[in-house]
Amino acid sequence: MYPLINRDNTCCFSGYRPEKLPWGDDEGDARCETLKERIRVTAERIHLSGIRHFISGMARGCDTFFCEAVLKLREEYPVITVEAAVPYERQAAAWRETDRIRYHALLERCEYVTYITHEYTRGCTLRRNRYMVDNSSVLIAVYDGIPGGTKYTLGYAERGGLEIETIMPVG
């Protein structure tokens, strides 16, 4: 049985795609492994503080690492639920096959999948980010000052009064 989900017991995530990470797509890089572990430890700490529901934006890179970490934590803490907040239905259509397979396998393991729009529209990823923040009390962000969606989401979360946990990517 799923717990009552509300803003007070929900955490969302924002972070970089591989293009903004020092190691790119090389997940075997020790820095990537370190980042994944830091995401897992932070998510577990947040869970132990009372968070039960986690929302991932499901982009390549850090969003994927976050979703995988929380799904793994769910094995130890079955009360955890995971929501995929997808900006549009065909988000992964142009991705490499390995990334698409990974993405769809993660979607299948999430209790909830929320599509922000059916088709791609300008700004749909920002609307996805606002949806996540508007429905959360905590934001975990992999961020080191690079402009883009994560910076926007952090600012939106600050204005919304969310608790913010920032993880620096290991560079």
pLDDT of residue 21: 94
pTM (global) more than 0.85: yes
Domain 7-167 has CATH 3.40.50.450: yes
The domains of the chain are located at 7-167
pLDDT of residue 170: 78
Residues 6+ apart with CB under 8 A from 30: none
pLDDT of residue 4: 77
Note the pLDDT tens digit of each residue in 12-33: 999 999 999 999 999 999 999 9
SS3 content of the chain, % helix, strand, coil (to 5): 45, 20, 35
**What percentage of the chain exceeds 90 in pLDDT?**
94
Structure tokens at 1: 């049985």
Note the pLDDT tens digit of each residue in 119-140: 999 999 999 999 999 999 999 9
Of 135, 106, 134, 129, residue with least CA distance to 116: 129
